Structure 1
């Protein structure tokens, strides 16, 4: 009994650690934009595409990960996911060619795609129902700490040791997590593998069912339009913009964008609680769009604030952007009883697809507005260049606010 309890908590801790770890790798390109341009002799468009290679694998993997988890079991899936993630980071770190670095980011996305499902799987299958929700929430908070660590603190490490050494170190961390899972976690072989044929048939049927529901599409697009500010600004372009616009160091700008993820950490539970209080998901999401725009626009177009004011504004951007999580509740309510999990996975798939498009789009717009100046051999983008390119983010928020009005009116959306 004691051994089982030890292994149960050990695997949860390792799954939570992997979730924390993959978020560091997910947002890491944001603190090394100039270094990547210099290392691979690429433009902002190239950096955007390179960062998005993570999403090119992560997005499509959202649909089959549950089936793979059921078939192979948590031990094999989590250990191999960690090892694949670590190998991808090592390939990225030691790459001297753009194509190899892209392969590395692609592999990181493959491994990372299992992180959230792994923590849900362990929390719900190995712990009581009373504990599972709390444990998933704690793990999500750790993931946000990972995003926080992958911006400000990681920027310090990159400035001190260089991005190659830092990412290589995290690559070996991934290998260690994978081997720890493999050797520590012991399951009965009967639990380890299941018949997957009926899961595969059910998955295809549910995908068709969910994909034919236009309101699930609208809800998913609303979610991605609210979330892209977090990934495109907080996860890639925000640091270099703030460094240029506010004339601060990379470390300071890194900590500024990390406030977005800090805002998510607090906003997730508080916004969810407020939504329950007013008993209206749509109204909460609508207000969140308005407030996110209200606090993001001054940071982008009026770069004259003290940096601590910027910290506070970006914290509020993250806080209210966390209302994106409510879209998963809406998706589940819109789906049929036998396709609720698929609806949530499909929503996450749409969000990831949106991220994969918007991150390189901002880079493309930067290159489109570039005036031809160079600094240390790489393209030097002005504050105005950044402002024009990042305009896509407020535009996305406005579009999302409008789309909310086309979402199906349903009293069930206002209940948990």
Structure 2
């Protein structure tokens, strides 16, 4: 029998949050793992930087395409069913990648994983909006991003260490099995709303239940697309997060290994620390934004720091050591503004379509990741000298400068866009209309 006290409510919502977050952590792991196994995969399949960028970006292309459908399905049918199905699909994709006999089949693995994890982020953000109060949303979003980044941290330094004892293939097979197990637990224990779990409206500790939109999904999508703040916020998110995800997820380790002759383990420490800083700053910025009641200044600051970081990596005479630590930390901390970005988007649309709005923003950011990863590799191949070793192309630091300048340009576009974002004062449109 369900305990309907405040204690019982907290027990259920934190169980739900934990299960959804564990799937989110696995999604982050897949997103950032290519940086650690880039050398092993490039050597095994004898592929160029452009081909490696395409392999890594397959995850993001399918993830992007599925964001709007995922948002529609989650608004209509809830997180429980959608995340359960998504986790199974992601698990199968991970297993396919781990067992792939050829590069073509290997590329199919991230494609399937991206299809599966496309439901998870929107699902957990929608669930948070129904299980936590409005004035807790920035804070709980920060916690979500902090914990999700455990997966990205594991995909950097720890994964590089594991690759000394286990093959990248066995690691992804195990990750796939874990995803399937989480899917079963999610379907068993997660509930979409407090009311579905047996809690009745009127309890002082219950958040208000968001209504289901009465409109056709095309009308809701039109509402999202016509909101100018969402468009400007999207570019602000691309400027900080698409650039950082593309770098930390693939090119952050190779630039140190190829450009400065660090080992894979040594290079992975820099992205590990940057990702850890990103997670910690996400928690801090979410709490701080709720505390001061402002969103826009933090979005502007994030894009300004990101622009400085990418220009520094491209143009300054930095080396492994304090200068590299500083620049990697700068772009990681700048990316934490995504917590505030998602809060803004959630607050400028009715709660009944916040899943679709969050999905649209997420789709745009990860389309940016996919394009930036591929373009970075393409730019590298344009400047590549043609040097080869053991059948694989060999690159030097100058080959990476063009890609870093591309990231700087994108961040500066995000900075300009951030000045046009509407300040919500941490209130939803529903609250302001009341």
TM-score with structure 1 length normalisation? 0.86
User: Quick check: which one's helix share is greater?
Assistant: 1
Indicate the SS of the match to 1:63: helix
Structure 1 portions without partners, runs of 5+: 193-197
> Which residue does the alignment assign to 2:361?
347
| Aligned-partner Cα distance in 1 for 2:344–2:12 | 35
Conservation of the 8 A alpha-carbon contact between 2:71 and 2:358: no
CA displacement at 1:18 relative to structure 2: 0.9
Q: 1:317 to 1:47 in 2, by over 3 A?
A: same
Q: Tell me whether 1:399 sits opposite 2:413 in the alignment.
A: yes
| Aligned-partner Cα distance in 1 for 2:344–2:190 | 36
Conservation of the 8 A alpha-carbon contact between 1:262 and 1:315: no
> Which residue does the alignment assign to 1:34?
39
Give a deviation string over 1:162-214, Cα, whole Å, max 9, x none.
211211221121122223334566999x969xxxxx86953211211222344
Report the number of matched residues. Answer: 407
Conservation of the 8 A alpha-carbon contact between 1:203 and 1:342: no
> Which residue does the alignment assign to 1:195?
none
CA displacement at 1:253 relative to structure 2: 1.0
Q: 1:333 to 1:135 in 2, by over 3 A?
A: closer
Q: Tell me whether 1:366 sits opposite 2:371 in the alignment.
A: no
Give a deviation string over 1:212-240, Cα, whole Å, max 9, x none.
34443232122212212211111111110
**Paired residues for 1:95-244 under 5 Å:** 95-125=100-130, 136-182=141-187, 201-244=215-258
Conservation of the 8 A alpha-carbon contact between 2:30 and 2:155: yes
CA displacement at 1:296 relative to structure 2: 3.7
> Which residue does the alignment assign to 2:73?
68
Conservation of the 8 A alpha-carbon contact between 1:14 and 1:177: yes
> Which residue does the alignment assign to 2:86?
81
CA displacement at 1:14 relative to structure 2: 2.0
Give a deviation string over 1:43-81, Cα, whole Å, max 9, x none.
111111111111112112222224423555544333322
| Aligned-partner Cα distance in 1 for 2:134–2:231 | 30
TM-score with structure 2 length normalisation? 0.83
Q: Tell me whether 1:316 sits opposite 2:316 in the alignment.
A: no
Single out whichever of 96-105 and 85-94 deviates more from structure 2: 96-105
CA displacement at 1:132 relative to structure 2: 7.3
| Aligned-partner Cα distance in 2 for 1:132–1:287 | 21
Conservation of the 8 A alpha-carbon contact between 2:75 and 2:353: no
Single out whichever of 128-137 and 14-23 deviates more from structure 2: 128-137
| Aligned-partner Cα distance in 1 for 2:177–2:147 | 20
Q: 1:319 to 1:217 in 2, by over 3 A?
A: same
Structure 2 portions without partners, runs of 5+: 198-211, 428-434
| Aligned-partner Cα distance in 1 for 2:353–2:319 | 48
